[in-house]
Amino acid sequence: MNKSDGCRCIATELYGAKPSSVVVTTPIYYINGAPHIGHAYASIAADVIARFHRLDGSKVHLSTGTDEHGIKVARSAETIPMDVQKFADQMSDKFREMNRAINLSEDDFIRTTENRHRESAQALWKLLEKDIYKDTYSGWYSARDEEYVAAEDVVDGNAPSGAPVEWMEEESYFFRLSAYQDRLLDYYDKHPDFIAPPSRRNEVINFVKNGLRDFSISRNKFDWGVPVPDSNDHVMYVWIDALANYITSLGFPHNREYVSEMMANCIHVVGKEILRFHAVYWPAFLMSAGISVPKRVFAHGWWVSEGQKMSKSIGNVVDPFEIIEKCGIDSLRYFLLREIRFGEDGDFSNDAFQRRISYDLANDLGNLVQRVLVFIQKLDGRLSVNYDFSSEEQILFVHARGLWDSLRQLMEKQDLHGALCCIWDLVSESNKFINDMRPWELARTDVRRLNAVLTTLCESIRAIAFGLAPFMPGTARKIFDFMNVEGKSFRELSINFSDVRFDPPAPLFPRER
């Protein structure tokens, strides 16, 4: 590799891709309880996906928000007691606080009590009316799950989720879900990547194959919800109300063609407990309304704590705010997405968390950056580019330049764990390169070769920083600052270290906080 090769704009040459539009969504969170680690996990994952696509040159819309209607919220407000709208305001603010704490880069925070959402949900209802009819329903109802439960699924007075059920009889509007069974199965067949991970896909297909029944989409026993159009005594079922948030955030009911186009490029990040609503009910609603079905619904797993289900009574609930205060948000973001493969269940162990911080972050990444930049300071903070690269250096260059392409393939599948493993392969190779090339000896014997070694390592570190930027934006920003790199987009990356003044580094992950 000659000098001119080393100074090319590698982003345009190797990483260029036509910019596109991508929509990423978190679930909107139900406000009957305070934010917990499960909420933070889903939002962090969606944020990483959105940040990656932005760095890759796409126009991204990341939406999140709060689900504020339904009988659970009304009852929670009554027990305080508090006006239900004030209760919703207070609880919604807690989720905004969580977003700030986890460094969420959302483009929209939607509340289902907003006027724009009422307009959107009611407009969606009108489009569904050809598949809506009125009837009377009687059966077991789970207020916690906000759904009716078939009699055969009730065990000892509880729904399959463990939530208590109560008998309810009411007049209701129904959606003809049964009419969409074959259409849904055909869609799953033609779009095998619509539901991820694959194990979740099989669950949904089996559920649909067992037969879909029409289901109730309105309530008249309470009034805390979006009013059904042209009805004086019905409010929308909370799930049709909540699911409509995704198109509300895109500006529905205005410019329907644009909304439909964007939905076709949408990735929903949801918990596995609400996959059925997103992979069965939601696409059926959209098909009925003539709006594109999302590109993918990705269902993540659940976290337990030290091998046990999290419970306030046990006292093992993981509070994301406490962890962030103690260890920093980037450490939490890294652990959640590195410890388990995205889509699987995980155990939040304090020992495992501390090991990740000590070994992966402080020892592997932190020491790599520190050692290289300290050596550059011994060269007065500047590198010379008057040299050729050895075969060893070329190998590391190729790995660094190929990182983004490898990450793109993994992120297209939302393999967040795999992406971090891929980045750490380059971290490990770079640390090995230091040990093999022994720059501390070159500083005494061959300054020209030392410049070549350090230039190669800087290119590797810069690639690592870009790869980490979606996952650990604060850490990546520190590295960019040390190297005086903007870091806005990989497309703008150019290699000309002779123009760079390197600042003295500080530890990325101090041992004591």
| pLDDT single digits (tens) 385-403 | 766 788 999 999 899 989 9
Does the pLDDT of residue 70 top 70, yes or no? yes
Q: Single out the residue of 162, 166, 169 nearest to residue 141, CA to CA.
A: 166
Strands 21-30 and 266-271: parallel
pLDDT bucket at 222, cuts 50 / 70 / 90? confident
3-class state of residue 212 by DSSP: coil
462-511 pLDDT per residue, tens: 999 999 999 999 999 999 888 887 655 554 444 567 667 888 888 898 76
**Looking at the predicted structure, is the pLDDT value of residue 125 above 80?**
yes
Report the range of poorest mean pLDDT among 79-83, 162-166, 397-401: 162-166
Quickly list H helices, 158-197: 181-190
Handedness of CA 101, 106, 111, 115 (dihedral sign): positive
223 pLDDT above the threshold of 70: yes
Average pLDDT, the chain: 89
What is the percentage of the chain residues whose pLDDT exceeds 90?
Answer: 68
Residue 141: pLDDT band with limits 50, 70, 90: confident
Q: What number is the average pLDDT over the span 18-43?
A: 90
Phi/psi for 247 (5° steps) reads -85, -25
Written as one letter, the residue type at 81 is P
**How is domain 3-16+350-499 classified at the architecture level of CATH?**
Orthogonal Bundle (1.10)
Task: Copy the structure tokens of residue 376.
Answer: 């550059």
Report the alpha-carbon distance of residue 253 to residue 119 in Å, rounded: 7
Nearest to 457 by CA among 475, 473, 442, 439: 439
Instruction: Judge whether residue 256 has pLDDT over 50.
Output: yes
pLDDT at position 3, please?
A: 30
φ, ψ dihedrals at 29, nearest 5°: -90, 135
Q: What is the distance, to the nearest Å, from the Cα of residue 310 to the centroid of all Cα atoms in its chain?
A: 22
Provide, for the chain, the percentages of residues in helix, strand and coil under a 3-state DSSP scheme, each rounded to the nearest 5: 55, 15, 30
490, 11 in Cβ contact below 8 A?
yes
Q: Where are the domains of the chain?
A: 3-16+350-499
Task: Give the model confidence (pLDDT) of 328-370 as tens digits.
Answer: 999 999 999 999 999 999 888 889 999 999 999 999 999 999 9
pLDDT given at position 383: 87
Q: Check residue 13 and give its pLDDT.
A: 36
* pTM for this model (two decimals): 0.91
Report residue 380's pLDDT band, with 50, 70 and 90 as the boundaries.
confident
Q: Which residue has the higher pLDDT, 81 or 488?
A: 81
Above 50 in pLDDT, residue 16? no
Is 60 exceeded by the pLDDT of residue 10?
no
* pLDDT at residue 488, rounded to an integer: 55
What's the pLDDT score for residue 4? 28
Least confident of 230-244, 287-301, 487-501: 487-501
pLDDT at 168 over 90: no
More confident residue, 71 or 307: 71
Cα-Cα-Cα-Cα torsion 169, 173, 177, 178, nearest 10 degrees, comes to 70
| Alpha carbon distance 395, 430 (integer Å) | 11
pLDDT of 11 reads 33
pLDDT the model gives residue 100: 97
